[in-house]
A and B are shown apart, each in its own frame.
Chain A
Amino acid sequence: MSQIQNNIWAAPHLSMRWWPVFQRNWLVWKKLAIPSLVGNIAEPLMWLVAFGYGLGSLVGQIELGGEKVPYILYLASGSICMSAMNAATFEALYSAFSRMHVQKTWDGIMNAPVRLDDVVLAEMLWAAFKALFTVTAILGVMLALGISHSWKLLVAWPVLLGVGITFSCMALIFNALAKGYDFFTYYFTLFLTPMMFLSGIFFPREQLPALVRVIADWLPLSVAVDLVRPLFMDRWPDQPLRHVLVLTLFAVVSFWIALALTRKRFRS
């Protein structure tokens, strides 16, 4: 047997066969879109209202790059990145795991001429699409609330898709390792929740101890916030190339690891 087949770290073997798998998820989701939309945007909006208007009235304005901005704008521009992260993560963990492990949908798909690599790619893109959908709905609400009206939000939109891609790639690593749904709690409590507080969503990273800050600056969520927040303030981000590269690196490396571990899982 060829060596290539045996190596789980072999380069991804991707083709357009991911599309019918993506279409499958789309068809399921269409049936549940409205309730799913409510769930996806209700929570981020509660955060925004409680913290933005509640806490915001105590904090007042926040100084950012020599400019004073209302706390609600500060929070909204950060929390939308968090929403992209959460939407992608939930889909690539719980929903993908249901399809992979519980319903055995992937097994069925692989009895047709579709490679595992394409199934994983489809799940990744699907989770990213769900993130984009959620983010779009929240952006709509933010526009309606008048939090920002910058036309640069149009640029934030594809950036947030990128954020969704990065986090769905990362989540798929844990999907590949999971024995059950309980396992995902570790990922949330050990990775995502700390990242949420270290990435400058609720307060500036300048408040963090110097050593923690060094690490925090390289977190994918920090990078996402650094890209998106200026766009909300009608400015261009500093070092956009660096940020995009960091996000891309996280995405590519994570996807590769996720694919290798998923191949290992399906090898048996």
Chain B
Amino acid sequence: MNTPLLSVQHLIKRYGDATVVNDLSFDIEPGECLGVIGPNGAGKTTTLRMCLGLSQPDGGEIRYFEGLQMPRDALAIKARLGVVAQMDTLDPDFTAEENLLVFGRYFGMPDALIRERIPALLAFGALSHKAQSKPGELSGGMKRRLSLARALINHPQLLMLDEPTTGLDPQARHLMWERLQVLLQEGKSILLTTHFMDEAERLCSRLLVLDQGRKIAEGKPRELIAQHLEPEVVEVFGQGAVALAQEASLKALAGRVEVSGETVFFYTQDSRALLHALQAWPTLRTLHRPSNLEDLFLKLTGRQIREEG
């Protein structure tokens, strides 16, 4: 096996009495896209910040590449990373092109080299026609793609993306996914945090599920679903649906029954008998679908709203 690009061991972070990251360990192998998912307040961003040396761990070790250690070798590590933070930090006074130029200088790159790379980076971000526009004149999706292009200025080996598509419309999100897939095909490695299960399923080769600072599951998306869930789900909703959760004849046909709001979820190995039995309640509406990552996420982290997030 290759040396991992990033290896986090027994990471701990406390704020006062609260332990927000609790004994967290994970690796990122070359070429991999690792998705970190979890509810608000699960410790995703804190973990990422510690990995970037922006926050001091209270315990544990963060190693990069061949023996570099965060925070000791922060600068040597950052020279080889590309970072897209949750909030855009683009310079509002600069054009897209100037944003790339100025950012490249922070890496100690000579202007000539940066200028040589700018056209390709703008093209990659589908921003060639916006080279002279300032961030204020760009849409949300364009700004995110400019942030991504900016993070690529130093040809990083590993990209660290904190919720790269939050707040984007579907078109912009799909374009972002497509760009990230291109990067993965080029052999880059990615660590990304996300709230979107379709994003995690589409991009990530492996997932890390965090809750209250702990790792509660880890694995390939499909395998995690197979491991934790029945393959099919029947959702039932409408007047009186909730009462069905107590119906013994139906419960016997499902592996697991969950109620959320006005909807009942029957998780089952085989839905045929269940769907047949449900015909006895013709006024209720049913939705039959394969179980997905969102079901897994909700099973592992619960359906209640996390106010503290």
Contact = CB atoms under 8 A, between A and B. Distances in A.
A28 B78 CA distance: 25
A25 to B, nearest CB: 10
B57 A111 contact: no
B174 interface: no
B166 to A, nearest CB: 16
A113 B108 contact: yes
B91 A24 contact: yes
A268 B15 CA distance: 8
Contact of B103 (A1, A2, A17, A112): A112
B103 A108 contact: yes
Contact of A110 (B54, B57, B90, B108): B54
B93 A108 contact: no
A20 B102 contact: yes
A216 B83 CA distance: 50
Contacts of B107: 112-113
Contacts of A107: 54, 85, 87, 89
A105 B89 contact: yes
A21 to B, nearest CB: 7
A103 B85 CA distance: 13
Interface string A1-27: 110011000000000010011011001
Given A105-B89, A107-B85, A28 B103 contact: no
A186 interface: no
Given A1-B56, A108-B103, A266-B54, A28 B83 contact: no
B182 interface: no
B72 A2 contact: yes
A111 B150 CA distance: 11
B71 interface: yes
Nearest to A102: B92
Contacts of B83: 111
A20 B106 contact: yes
Contacts of A27: 94, 98, 102
A114 interface: yes
B106 A112 contact: yes
Contacts of A1: 56-57, 71
Interface residues of B, number: 31
Interface string B56-75: 11000000000000011011
Contact of A113 (B72, B78, B87, B90): B78
Contact of B105 (A23, A28, A111): A23
A11 B83 CA distance: 28
B249 interface: no
A6 B76 contact: no
B279 interface: no
Contacts of A268: 55
A133 to B, nearest CB: 18
B93 A113 contact: no
B88 to A, nearest CB: 8
26 contacts: A2-B72, A5-B72, A17-B108, A20-B102, A20-B106, A21-B106, A23-B105, A24-B91, A24-B105, A27-B94, A27-B98, A103-B89, A103-B91, A104-B85, A107-B54, A107-B87, A108-B85, A108-B91, A108-B103, A111-B81, A111-B89, A112-B106, A113-B74, A113-B75, A113-B107, A115-B75
Interface of B: 52, 54-57, 71-72, 74-76, 78-79, 81, 83, 85, 87, 89-94, 98, 102-103, 105-108, 151, 154
Given A17-B106, A108-B85, A113-B107, 7 more contacts: A6-B56, A17-B108, A104-B87, A111-B81, A111-B151, A113-B79, A113-B106
List the 7 closest pairs (A to B, CB-CB), nearest first.
A108-B89, A112-B106, A20-B105, A111-B83, A113-B75, A113-B78, A104-B89
